[in-house]
Amino acid sequence: MLFRKASSPFISAQASVHTIMYQVLYALIPGTLAAIYFFGWGVLINLAITAIICLFSEALVLKLRNRPIKVSLKDGSALITACLLALALPPLVPWWLTVIASIFAIVIAKQLYGGLGFNLFNPAMVGYIVVMISFPREMTYWTAPLGAVDHWLSFSDTFSVIFYGALPDQSSIDSITMATPMDTLKTQIGLENDITSTRHHKVYGTLFSNISGKGWQWINLLFLLGGLWMIKMKVIDWRIPVSFLLSLLLISNFFSVSDYATYPSALFHLFSGGTMLCAFFIATDPVSASTTPRGRWIYGAGIGVLVYTIRTWGGYPDGIAFAIILMNMAVPLLDYYTQPKTYGKADTE
Amino acid sequence: MTSEQQTIVKNGLWTNNVALVQLLGLCPLLAVTSSLINGLGLGLATLMTLVLSNSFVSIIRHWTRPEVRIPIFVLIIASIVTAIELAMNAWFHELFLVLGIFIPLIVTNCSIIARAEAFASRNSVLDSALDGFMMGLGFLLVLVLLGGLRELIGQGTLFANAHLMFGSAAEGLEFTLIKDYPGFLLAILPPGAFIGLGLLIAIKNSIEKHKSKQTIRVSPPVKPAEVAVQ
């Protein structure tokens, strides 16, 4: 039997927090561009608000804590939080909601726990959950994606909706926003309409594409590509995304095969909502995710099961944030019980 | 007031505050402080219990055998709480309904038996009553502060439902911060209680740190950790 021969010196990538974080940011670019393309100016405005507030509040807390400001701001971790938050929030949410989410993410979830490396929970997801449970109505302000409508809301209209709550002439909040495909399916199934009739409904039908939802499938696909690039660059470990996607695939396939009229297909689950963003960018957070190989398998699979459970039977349309936070809580336990055996040592138990 | 009594006052309100330092009675503290009036109601009930139980325990301290003192304290506290519960049910019925189980649960508030055991059983009646009053007042102030903060942030009002306590004349007390305040539900939900109490404790600690003016050694800045790549 032949083994691959390798001899020293083993060259390893020059990895620092800074380079890793910036590679993550680069990998986010294609999916973010797609989100902007499909949902319009709102995404860009949100991104600007979260970036400014996250960096500012990080600097403020660091100053209060007498820690070096420049180094921490430059490492890009606050920017990633800002990006994830902006991508998770609906494009037309009022500005103050975005500000609250950013402040909670950075000040409470990250800095009060001790800053980068010490936070138990994923900061962006904490910020998202805070506004999700506090302002459920505003969190439905999704615009219809390009494809379902033929043009974006103009920049000035978007700006005035976000900053002044002023709607364009002759429109109501219901005419410029639209439920997400996932939310629509959930509501319609709740009303005992089956999936096929919802997909061909003359109003809601425009939201759906052959795979999942218009726009959503491309956004998810591009996040998937960005994620694969990160795995290739060894920025993230492959176990968490694989086990998360696999468990989501298996469980959603099981239910949709057993009753395809009320349970959406596995493909729909994989390519709608925040699935791919979660798989590669949120669940793989090096700080709040599990760090042992076996722990990572369990962590990813747990998120998959929870996401499916919340999406299908829970009160919220998408369950990514709650699933991540719940599994974050399990991480210390997972890491404790899944320590790999030290090479050359017998089991001590 | 003797210097000893001054210490008692200071202990109850600040240095040894039940809620902020001893962290006793957290269950009612976190559960009922969703509004200022709720906090005030429970605070007053606890205050009254503390004064009465401390006094009674102190009165009988010479005849209580140490072997059986704890059951005796518990009996005294339980009868006082029962009396207060019945009184609230009679005169503040609506507030009683709002506070619900947390009125009878005052029995289990550790601060009450802690004061009986640690202070009242070995001090004079007057001092014990004062200690009970100050400890209760310290607890009440934190309840009111936390309740007020959560109510203000959560729904933008203060003194909502004041009529539950002060009768219909107090309905005008309700004060609205901003019109059309969208409400920040998190502050009223349980996480708001934990975050709020945490912040209050942090503020208290930072005030003390500031007052003592001791040079606190600042730990050297942590260098960002290197992320290992597999």
- The answer to whether the CB atoms of A17 and B185 lie below 8 A apart is no
The residue written with tokens 């009060």 in the block is A112
> Hey, of B199, B223, B229, B230, which one would you mutate to test binding to chain A, going by the most A CBs within 10 A of its CB?
B229
Encode pLDDT of A102-148 as tens digits.
999 999 999 999 888 899 999 999 999 999 999 988 888 888 888 77
Q: B185-212 burial string, b = 16+ CB within 10 Å, else e? A: bbbbeeebbebbbeebbeebeeeeeeee
The residue range of the domain holding A262 is 17-337
pLDDT score for B230: 43
Does the pLDDT value for residue A340 go beyond 70?
Answer: yes
Residue B140 lies in a domain: yes
The residue range of the domain holding B30 is 3-207
d(CA B93, CA A272): 52
- The answer to whether the CB atoms of A17 and B226 lie below 8 A apart is yes
Residue B36 lies in a domain: yes
Sort B68 into a burial class: Cβ within 10 Å, 0-12 / 13-18 / 19+: exposed
Task: Please choose, from the candidates B39, B8, B6, B23, the residue with its C-alpha nearest in 3D space to the C-alpha of residue B145.
Answer: B39
Give the residue ranges of DSSP H helices in A191-238: 195-199, 216-232
**Binding-face residues of B in 133-162 toward A, CB within 8 A:** none
Residue B217 lies in a domain: no
Encode pLDDT of A279-309 as tens digits.
999 999 989 999 999 999 999 999 999 999 9
Q: What is the share, in percent, of chain A residues with pLDDT greater than 90?
A: 54
pLDDT score for A71: 84
Query: What CATH number corresponds to the domain at position A263?
Result: 1.10.3430
Decide: A272 and A220 in contact? Cβ < 8 Å.
yes
- The answer to whether the CB atoms of A237 and B230 lie below 8 A apart is yes
CB neighbours (10 Å) of residue A79?
21
Residue A185 lies in a domain: yes
Q: Across all residues in chain B, what is the average pLDDT?
A: 85
Residue A88 lies in a domain: yes
- The answer to whether the CB atoms of A138 and B182 lie below 8 A apart is yes
Average pLDDT for residues A199-222, to the nearest whole number?
84
When divided into structural domains, chain B yields a total of 1
Contacts of A68 in chain B (CB under 8 A): 221
Sort B67 into a burial class: Cβ within 10 Å, 0-12 / 13-18 / 19+: exposed
- The answer to whether the CB atoms of A75 and B185 lie below 8 A apart is no
Encode pLDDT of B192-204 as tens digits.
999 999 999 999 9
Residue B43 lies in a domain: yes
| Residue A136 per-residue DSSP state | T
Residue A171 lies in a domain: yes
d(CA A160, CA A144): 18
Residue B221 lies in a domain: no
Where is pLDDT greater, at B220 or B101?
A: B101
Residue A12 lies in a domain: no
Does the pLDDT value for residue A43 go beyond 90?
Answer: yes
Chain B residue closest in CA terms to A12: B229
pLDDT score for A90: 93
Q: Which of B26-30, B138-142, B222-226 has the lowest mean pLDDT?
A: B222-226
CB-closest option in A15, A66, A134 to B227? A15
Q: Across all residues in chain A, what is the average pLDDT?
A: 88
Contacts of B195 in chain A (CB under 8 A): 108
CB contact B203 to A (< 8 Å):
no
Q: CB within 8 A of A250, min separation 6: which ones? A: none
Does the pLDDT value for residue B211 go beyond 80?
Answer: yes
Q: How many pairs of residues across A and B have Cβ atoms under 8 Å apart?
A: 48
Does the pLDDT value for residue B216 go beyond 60?
Answer: no
